[in-house]
Amino acid sequence: MKKIELNDYLEDMTLFSASQEEPQWMLDLRLKALEKISELELPQIERVKIHRWPLMNVGNLNEEILGNPVLPEFDKIEDNPMIIQGRTTTLYEQMPVELSEQGVIFTDIFTAMREHSDLVKEYFMTKAVPMDEDKLTAFHVAMLNGGVFLYVPKNVVVKDVFESLFFQNMEDSSAWVKHVLIVADENSEVTYLERLQSEGESSEKVSANMVVEVIAKKGAKVKFAAIDRLGKDVSTYMNRRAHILRDASVDWALGIMNEGDVVADFDSDLVGIGSHSEVKVVAISSGRQTQGIDTRVTNMASHSVGHILQHGVIREKGTLTFNGIGHILKGAKGADAQQESRVLMLSDKARGDANPILLIDEFEVTAGHAASAGRLDPDELYYLMSRGLPQKEAERLVTRGFLGSVITAIPIKKVQEELIEVIDRKLVD
């Protein structure tokens, strides 16, 4: 992995910060992060070696190439809040007036830093993901060039789905570094849908770095769904994490459909008494793609509940590793930590692992796990083919059934249908 030298990017980073009119606290944080990069280690993902991956190819922060951006068909646009963004430029933004009048904020991360500086500063890399957690979180802060901020005030219940589409033009070889910060204040409710999408071809390897922080305050309810479709030449680091306070909940529904190598960390920190999180993940690896996914729930408080459900499919020479980690800390009496990780291999050359890890430091708790890694059941295939289905179609149906238990648990019907469509396309390609 390329070494990041302070002086190599100091001028470009400072110029970019000035171009976005960032507050001084953000520039100071960037400078601190840039100094930290060389001191920190890469994140450790069990059974996945990432030290040779091009995860820190910086490129030119200050010259964005938009290419042919993904824009909505205007006759099909619904009224819900929506942001479409390139690497840095916001291409489309829609926010209903009635939500703004209730104090809801939904805008790009740099506008939020300028117009709501104190609010963003309070939560940006302070509660969920520390800036200096590892080399890639420090790189994230130093090279941040896009993202969104969503704030829902106390007692505000939003029925509409907030949508973000982050568009990556593959002709732009600069690092694609996005930050999503969601703050759900006390007793608020919000649903957020995120799409990551690459378009075009690249002549070189591109790096993507994505950090999502969800802060759910007392009694808040957050539903977070994502469909990730970054390209085959993109090496991606992804960190999505929730900081969940008393009686609050954050439910994740994540479709990891990228074509390139991915290292991901999906975490829920159950900080408050009675906090709750469901983490549901589906992933497909194909070609020579490698994906390593750590999914962790940490029960820090009594009567907290955290469940993990993840299913993955591997085609051709792909590799997929699921590490499910449930950790019940001392003092978290009455906590509940459950996990299920299953991997299905469609090829003799596919490699898959499902590794359950339970760490329990308290008595009077409930915990359990299930894990499996196996191949397609030949009897199921034979039965379908004996009814006249071609082998490819039979494999597709069996695979969709394998992933179905996760897909049907996704709380947004629209996302279920879209994810099924993406899965079918990825299995046929």
Per-residue pLDDT of 55-97, as tens digits, reads 998 988 899 998 887 776 666 678 899 999 999 999 999 999 9
CA dihedral 74, 76, 79, 85 (to 10 degrees): -50
pLDDT band at 396 (very low <50, low <70, confident <90, very high): confident
Sheet holding 157-169, edge to edge: 90-94, 82-85, 157-169, 189-199, 221-229, 249-256, 276-285, 305-314, 336-345, 366-375
Neighbours of 90 (CB within 10 A): 16
Whether 321 contacts 355, CB under 8 Å: yes
- Output the pLDDT for position 331: 97
Evaluate if residue 156 carries a pLDDT over 90. Answer: yes
**Whole-angstrom distance, CA of residue 377 vs CA of residue 381:** 7
pLDDT band at 380 (very low <50, low <70, confident <90, very high): confident
Whether 287 contacts 260, CB under 8 Å: no
pLDDT band at 416 (very low <50, low <70, confident <90, very high): confident
pTM of the model as a whole: 0.96
Lowest mean pLDDT among 31-40, 150-159, 401-410: 401-410
- Output the pLDDT for position 202: 83
pLDDT band at 376 (very low <50, low <70, confident <90, very high): confident
Tell me whether residue 102 is exposed, middle or buried, using C-beta atoms within 10 angstroms of its C-beta: 0 to 12, 13 to 18, 19 or more: middle
- Output the pLDDT for position 427: 80
Close Cβ partners of 337 (under 8 Å, ≥ 6 residues apart): 297, 299, 306, 307, 326, 327, 328, 358, 360, 365, 366, 367, 368
Q: What is the mean pLDDT of residues 388-407?
A: 85
**Whole-angstrom distance, CA of residue 102 vs CA of residue 83:** 19
pLDDT band at 144 (very low <50, low <70, confident <90, very high): very high
If we measure between CA atoms, which residue out of 181, 278, 285, 144 comes closest to residue 228?
A: 285
- Output the pLDDT for position 339: 96
Neighbours of 375 (CB within 10 A): 14
Q: What is the mean pLDDT of residues 416-429?
A: 85
Phi/psi of residue 246, nearest 5 degrees: -55, 130
**Whole-angstrom distance, CA of residue 187 vs CA of residue 241:** 20
Evaluate if residue 405 carries a pLDDT over 80. Answer: no
Q: What is the pLDDT of residues 201-260, one digit of tens each?
A: 887 889 999 999 999 999 999 999 999 999 999 999 999 999 999 999 999 999 999 999
Lowest mean pLDDT among 12-26, 311-325, 374-388: 374-388
pLDDT band at 404 (very low <50, low <70, confident <90, very high): confident
Q: Which letter does DSSP use for residue 372 in this model?
A: E
Q: What is the mean pLDDT of residues 394-407?
A: 85
Tell me whether residue 72 is exposed, middle or buried, using C-beta atoms within 10 angstroms of its C-beta: 0 to 12, 13 to 18, 19 or more: middle
Terminal-residue alpha carbon distance, the chain: 30
Q: What is the pLDDT of residues 356-369, one digit of tens each?
A: 999 999 999 999 99
C-alpha 319: how far from chain center? 19
Whether 139 contacts 178, CB under 8 Å: no
pLDDT band at 46 (very low <50, low <70, confident <90, very high): confident
Evaluate if residue 414 carries a pLDDT over 90. Answer: no
